[in-house]
Amino acid sequence: MKKRKEADPFRINRYDIILTAALAAAAVICVILFAGFHDTSEGAFVRITVDAEEYGIYELSQPVQIRIETDRGNNLIQIRDHQVTMLEADCPDGYCIRKGPISRIGDTIVCLPHRVVAEILSADGHADEFDVIAQ
Amino acid sequence: MKKAILVMLICLLVCTGCSLGKETSERESASRELFAMDTIMTLTVYGEHAQEVLDLAEAEIERLDQMLSTGNPEGEIGTLNRTGKVNLSDDAAYLFEESLKLNDMSENAFNPMIYPVMEAWGFTTDEYRVPSKEEIGQILPLVDLSLAEYQEETGVLQFRKEGVKIDFGGIAKGYTSGRLMELFQENGIEDAVVSLGGNVQVIGKNPKQELWKVAIRDPQDPSGFLGIVRVTDQAVITSGGYERYFEEDGKRYHHIIDPNDGFPADQGLISVTVISRDGTLADGLSTALYVMGLNRAEELWKQHPDLFDAVFVTDSNELYITEGLKECFTSDTYTVKIIPE
Ligand SMILES: [Zn+2]
């Protein structure tokens, strides 16, 4: 008698299966919703770093070309139509140019030989620093 | 085994619960980007019916742009400059009266009649040239607000002299951002931020329920900021020669022309930011203070410390703020000097 009772909580019955399925479904829906709201949406800013030091944060709404010249080499980054493109680079591999335009939050262009990184940020991805730029 | 599954599921539930909670606690919001008044504008509002309110905002911007653009011959200002006479709407009449105040306050450092001089420099067409002193000397007498006669009873504005032209471009964006804030509040929006080509105005709080953090562009470093000012219900408007200029024979000529002599202002300032509840005033004063230079700007502020605050950067790389900003301005790049009341 006693032994059977102790074993009971470890046996999976059909309510457990239903509960598990419901929870799993809820989790999946939540994850999809969460991703839909965040990870795949269009960014508002791009942060450029050179050798892991912040070089600048730019609004995607303001068309501009940013020329970065360091001892490692030269890069020309373009912001236009809400997209960021590596326009020119004299790096040996040219991967950064082939990456093409980026605009979604979290997207990056990396020029490894020159240690130049451009990362798309959300409107509040930089909010510890600021909300808007006066210029 | 079953325990492990349960623990895992509870974790999942808690995690997704958190993210769900975060989503639902965020208010309705909408953002829009549009081109008007020869610049890019971004508007973000938080509150109910955010999209509909932005539709209203866009229509209002369109209306004011049509009315105030010097490039629209059928608009109010276009008609005035073409024919020398027009019936002013309430908006344009307000801008004219504010111009008189700003002109008086700044001892002619702000003057909307500067337009013929801007034409001579090519700043109105982007076909830049350096006019001679004689040429400027001939045009400068047109830059005189007493040549514009406004009759309040009839609402008619009339020029007294041939060749006179007016341009409210120096305050139009500040006026527009102020109008947008009114429109937002009338329609139940509590929090909003707009940037009309870098002219910023905000109401309420940022999404983190803090003061809005406005980064101000560093005139010495187009990638960096001279500092951050934390504000609510304020316009933050920056003027600097670095915004628009051309070079000829190795000399740089920027677009902020001193109405007193018709040449680019050169009073030792490279950037002026005005922070004020009044967008029109902030816009007009940012150029006026730039033209006046630090000492006279300081005097003007001491006469009106309740009207505005300001951030100045001099050509010797010194940064000054008026005392009212003491608690809300920070800079990583400059040593901040405070102008006391
Ligand atoms: Zn590369």
pLDDT in tens, B80-114: 999 999 999 999 999 999 999 999 999 999 999 99
Give how far B40 is from chain A: nearest CA, Å.
Answer: 7
> Domain A45-134, what fold?
mini-chromosome maintenance (MCM) complex, domain 2 (2.60.320)
The phi and psi torsions of A5 (rounded to 5 degrees) equal -60, -40
CB contact under 8 A, B225 and A124: no
- In angstroms, what separates the C-alpha of B214 from chain A's closest C-alpha? 5
pLDDT value at B13 more than 80: no
String of b and e for B75-101 (b: at least 16 CB within 10 Å)?
bbbbebbeebebebeebbebbbebbee
CB < 8 Å to A9, chain B = 2
Q: Is B329 on the interface with A (CB under 8 A)?
A: no
Give A99 to chain B, closest Cα distance, Å.
23
pLDDT attached to residue A35 = 44
**Gap between the Cα atoms of B234 and B282, Å rounded:** 9
- Name the least confident of A7-16, B12-21, B175-184: B12-21
**In this complex, do B224 and A131 lie within 8 Å of one another by their Cβ atoms?**
no
Residue B27: pLDDT band with limits 50, 70, 90? confident
A17 close contact with B: CB closer than 8 A: no
Instruction: State what percent of residues in chain B have pLDDT above 70.
Output: 92
Best of A16, A37, A46, A131 to mutate (most B CBs within 10 Å, chain B): A131
Other beta carbons within 10 Å of B317:
12
Residue with tokens 């400027």: B136
How far does the centroid of ligand 1 lie from the alpha carbon of residue A82, in Å? Answer: 21
Q: State the average pLDDT over residues B286-295.
A: 98
Pairwise CA distance, residues B339 & B341, whole Å:
7
Per mean pLDDT, which range of A107-111, B46-50, B93-97, B158-162 is the poorest?
Answer: A107-111
Select from B33, B199, B213 the Cβ nearest to the Cβ of A131: B213
3-state secondary structure chain A: CHHHHHHHHHCCCHHHHHHHHHHHHHHHHHHHHHHHHCCCCECCEEEEEECCEEEEEEECCCCEEEEEEECCEEEEEEEECCEEEEEEECCCCCHHHHCCCECECCCEEEECCCCEEEEEECCCCCCCCCCEEEC
ipTM greater than 0.90, yes or no?
Answer: no
Q: Do B5 and A20 touch (CB under 8 A)?
A: yes
- B40 pLDDT above the threshold of 70: yes
Does B142 score more than 90 pLDDT? Answer: yes
Ligand 1 mean position, distance from CA B222 (Å): 23
Q: What is the pLDDT of residue B201?
A: 98
User: Which residue did the predictor score with more confidence, B288 or A119?
Assistant: B288
Q: State in Å: Cα A96 to ligand 1 middle.
A: 4
Q: Confidence band (pLDDT; 50, 70, 90) for B208?
A: confident
Write down the pLDDT at residue B224. Answer: 74
Q: Which of A74-83, B52-61, B177-186, B234-243 has the lowest mean pLDDT?
A: B234-243
The pLDDT confidence band at residue B284, using thresholds 50, 70 and 90, is very high
Q: Which residues of chain A are modeled with pLDDT < 70?
A: 1-12, 17-20, 23-24, 26-41, 124-128
Domain boundaries, chain A: 45-134
Closest CA of chain B from A46, distance in Å: 11
* pLDDT at residue B20 is higher than 80: no
B59 touches chain A (CB under 8 A): no
Q: How far is the CA of A121 from the centre of ligand 1 (A)?
A: 21
Please tell me the pTM assigned to this model. Answer: 0.75
The confidence score (pLDDT) of residue B45 equals 96
Reported as a single tens digit per residue, the pLDDT across B223-248 is 678 999 999 999 999 999 877 889 99
Work out the average pLDDT over B119-139.
94
Q: Measured between CB atoms, does B122 come within 8 Å of chain A?
A: no
pLDDT, residue B197, reads 87
pLDDT of B279 above 60: yes
A93 has a chain B CB within 8 A of its CB:
no
pLDDT at A124: 67
**Ligand 1: centre distance to CA A110 (Å):** 7
B contact residues 213-242, partner A, Cβ 8 Å cutoff:
213-217, 222-225, 228, 236-238
User: Each residue of B267-277: pLDDT tens digit?
Assistant: 999 999 999 99
Structure token pair of residue B294: 């630090």
